[in-house]
């Protein structure tokens, strides 16, 4: 069994099946699913994944049939969904709402 694993590792390293750029196309989708669905609940993350897949597939089908947009335009739909979600629901971020901390307090009229 161990020799199968070692043989598979050697074969993939020489065949070029694994490259440093292997996951670049998935990073934006995974980040968007994590942002929309959240990382706390597995159910909400699954709903976010279904939502992103639906937006990509239906959106590219509509854009391709009506406007002739190529299928390689699909990652832009994920990016547009992420930006729209960030604008509609801005996160507090790692600082916990740091910009709200520096509001002037004594300037009431």
Secondary structure string (H, E, C) spanning the chain: CHHHHHHHHHHHHHHCCCCCCCCHHHHHHHHHHHHHHCCCCHHHHHHHHHHHHHHHHHHHHHHHHHHCCCHHHHHHHHHHHHHHHHHHCCCCCCCCCHHHHCCCCCCCC
Asked if residue 64 has pLDDT above 90, the reply is: yes
Tell me which of 27-36, 59-68, 93-102 is least confident: 93-102
**pTM for this structure?**
0.67
Asked if residue 50 has pLDDT above 80, the reply is: yes
């Amino acid at each position: 069994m161990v020799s199968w694993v070692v043989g598979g590792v050697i074969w993939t390293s020489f065949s070029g099946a694994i490259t440093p750029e292997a996951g670049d196309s998935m990073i934006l989708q995974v980040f968007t699913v994590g942002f929309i669905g959240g990382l706390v609940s597995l159910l909400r993350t699954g709903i976010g994944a279904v939502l992103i897949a639906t937006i990509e597939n239906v959106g590219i089908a509509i854009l391709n049939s009506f406007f002739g947009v190529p299928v390689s335009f699909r990652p832009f739909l994920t990016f547009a969904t992420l930006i729209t979600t960030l604008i509609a629901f801005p996160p507090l971020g790692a600082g916990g709402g740091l910009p709200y901390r520096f509001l002037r307090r004594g300037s009431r009229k």
